[in-house]
């Protein structure tokens, strides 16, 4: 099915199994964080997966490339009407409407949309900045995506904890300086952090991304995965990141 583009939109190549995504400079576009989360989360055939704050649907689309046999269901929930519409058209253009469902709704009210404990995996790339921190963006779409004006970290973790089944997994991407907050909120929801990976722009720089996967009612046993370096000193992607974008590797 051809992609339906509206004024101001473009079609970008995700460089993964022929997948493409609808984007626009007028709204928040996905970043490397979302790509890394989609590759870090543990995905199994026949899983039911929920992506909270799905934006234009990049994580659900990428998750379909993670296993050779189809997952049972992927649902992306997005608050903003325009982004939800872009996500639906991205799903349709990629021919994934039998696997992915996009729902416009509020993360804080997700319990009214689905049965609690319904999902095997919940993923989330939440807003990183508390209200009052960082530069307030005049673009409402970007402001909602970057700042905790419509959804706080506690809201996102609470929703994930309610929607994932006992023994199921929850995967988040965030900033390292909020890692303590993330761990605290996870334990408040009986989500035990089990895997963590720090992401560094370059080998001699500080990490700017943290990936965390937790298990509902899991035992205390946190594994620290090897660091991921994004760029080599010459500015090119590291071999691992290049392999991710070329569809040859799963983190």
| Higher per-residue pLDDT: 157 or 147 | 157
pLDDT in tens, 111-129: 999 999 999 999 999 987 6
Question: What DSSP line would sit under 155-219, residue for residue?
Answer: HHHHHHHHHEEEEEEEEEEE-GGGHHHHHHHHHHTTEEEEEEEEEESSTTS---EEEEEEEET--
> CB–CB of 240/211 below 8 Å?
no
CA 7 to chain centroid: 26
Band (144; pLDDT cuts 50, 70, 90): low
Per-residue pLDDT, 138: 58
Let me know: does 146 contact 137? Beta carbons within 8 Å.
yes
Pairing of strands 209-216, 191-200: antiparallel
Average pLDDT, the chain: 91
pLDDT at 229 over 80: yes
- Kindly tell me if the per-residue pLDDT of 143 is higher than 50: yes
Q: pTM to 2 decimals?
A: 0.93
100-104, 126-130, 204-208, 226-230: least confident range: 126-130
Q: How far apart are CA 124 and CA 156, in angstroms?
A: 7
User: What does the angle CA 81 – CA 23 – CA 250 come to, to the nearest 5 degrees?
Assistant: 105
| Span 9-245 CATH architecture | 3-Layer(aba) Sandwich (3.40)
Give pLDDT, residue 69. Answer: 79
């Amino acid at each position: 099915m051809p992609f339906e583009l509206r004024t101001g939109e473009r079609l970008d190549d995700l460089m993964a199994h022929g997948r493409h995504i609808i984007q626009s400079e007028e709204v928040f576009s996905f970043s490397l964080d979302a790509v890394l989360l989609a590759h870090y989360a543990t995905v199994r055939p026949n899983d039911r997966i929920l992506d909270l704050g799905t934006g234009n649907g990049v994580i659900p689309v990428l998750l379909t490339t993670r296993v050779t046999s189809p997952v049972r269901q992927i649902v992306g929930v997005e608050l903003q009407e325009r982004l939800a519409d872009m996500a639906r058209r991205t799903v349709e253009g990629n021919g994934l409407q039998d696997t992915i469902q996009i729902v416009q709704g509020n993360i804080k009210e997700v319990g009214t949309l689905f049965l609690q404990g319904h999902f095997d995996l919940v993923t989330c790339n939440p807003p990183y900045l508390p209200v009052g921190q960082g530069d307030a963006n005049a673009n409402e779409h970007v402001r909602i995506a970057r700042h905790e004006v419509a959804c706080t970290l506690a809201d996102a973790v609470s929703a994930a904890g309610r929607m994932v089944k006992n023994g199921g997994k929850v995967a988040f991407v965030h900033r390292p300086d909020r890692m303590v907050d993330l761990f605290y909120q996870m334990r408040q929801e009986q989500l035990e952090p089990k895997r963590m990976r720090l992401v560094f722009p370059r080998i001699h720089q500080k990490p700017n991304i943290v990936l965390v996967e937790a298990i509902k009612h899991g035992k205390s046993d946190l594994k620290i995965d090897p660091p991921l370096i994004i760029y080599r000193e010459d500015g090119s992607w590291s071999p691992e990141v290049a392999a991710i974008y070329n569809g040859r590797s799963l983190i």
